[in-house]
Amino acid sequence: MKVVGITGGVGSGKSEVLRLLEEKFNCGVIRTDDVARDLCEPGEKSYELIVKNFGETVLDMDGRLNRPKLASIVFEDEAKRQLLNQCTHPQVYEWVREKVREWRTKKDYSMIAVEAALMDELKEIGVCESYWYVYVKPEIRRERLRISRGYSDEKMDAIFASQLPEAVFLNGCDVVIDNNFDLENVEKQLKSLCK
């Protein structure tokens, strides 16, 4: 059962590619952002590590993580940001490895896709045999973000400036999915890739 890593910038259409893989190609999909969020719930590993390292002042009245407060703590402090990453990333990677082992044993899927925003994360997890980059021209990404999320030009400028250069993704991936057109075109590309 092949495991592919899927990445791409915000507004590239990764979610739609993953949806098509799930619905049309019997693909098990793991979204690392969702895993990270779940592992930060009370009682989970990342939650426990964050509270141990940052204290209970990062919790809200219900005992859940106060994400805005935590973000403000790590925003301007690189050492604290690294500490937060150490509280979360290894737990996510181990969860993904375990889920891939489980799905391979059960054989419920024809393939597995692991989605992450960063190439480094996918490579660190160490389960992907191929890396797929969902590519969209910046002007199309901007238009999609304006329509789907209501982002301002200023917000998009900040997001684009914070992301890795496209060359990093293009050089690090062995497959490029062109999502500049419609979903029918993407589905044709996936059909060819999933043979």
Q: What is the pLDDT of residues 108-161, one digit of tens each?
A: 999 999 999 888 899 999 999 999 999 999 999 999 999 999 999 998 998 888
- Model pTM score: 0.91
Other beta carbons within 10 Å of 147: 10
Angle at 118 between CA 71 and CA 63, to 5 degrees: 30
Q: Where are the domains of the chain?
A: 2-193
Per-residue confidence band for 173, with pLDDT thresholds at 50, 70 and 90: very high
CATH code, 2-193: 3.40.50.300
- On the 0-12 / 13-18 / 19+ scale of CB atoms within 10 A, 162 is exposed
Q: Please state, rounded to an integer, the average pLDDT across all residues of the chain.
A: 94
111-115 and 175-178 as β-strands: parallel, antiparallel, unpaired? unpaired
74 vs 146: CA distance, rounded Å: 28
Q: Looking at residue 142, what is its pLDDT?
A: 93
Q: Looking at residue 30, what is its pLDDT?
A: 98
Determine contact, residues 66/59, Cβ cutoff 8 Å.
yes
Determine contact, residues 5/100, Cβ cutoff 8 Å.
no
Is 90 exceeded by the pLDDT of residue 163?
no
114 vs 122: CA distance, rounded Å: 8
Average pLDDT over residues 29-46: 97
